[in-house]
Amino acid sequence: MELWLAITLIVVALAAGVAIGFFAARQYMMKYLKDNPPVNEQMLRMMMAQMGRKPSEKQVKQMMNQMNKMQK
């Protein structure tokens, strides 16, 4: 009976550790992406310039708004 209890506790502890680890990692990544967005206006201008376009401020703002909408 003691062996069964030990195995059950190990399985429960492992499941709890996996769940806590998953949610902690998820929370960390959400905070990281909020603090350091993957693309900002300066990067967008640089990418468009590399494609041979000179973007206007209106175009940059529109693209940033679209990217922010898709993120949420």
Residues 6+ apart with CB under 8 A from 40: 64
- pLDDT in the model for residue 55: 86
Distance CA 13, CA 20 (A): 10
3-state SS class at 55? coil
Distance CA 19, CA 25 (A): 10
Which amino acid is present at 51? M
Asked if the model's pLDDT at residue 71 lies above 80, the reply is no
State pTM to two decimals: 0.56
pLDDT per residue over 1-52, tens digit each?
A: 699 999 999 999 999 999 999 999 999 999 998 888 788 888 889 988 999 9
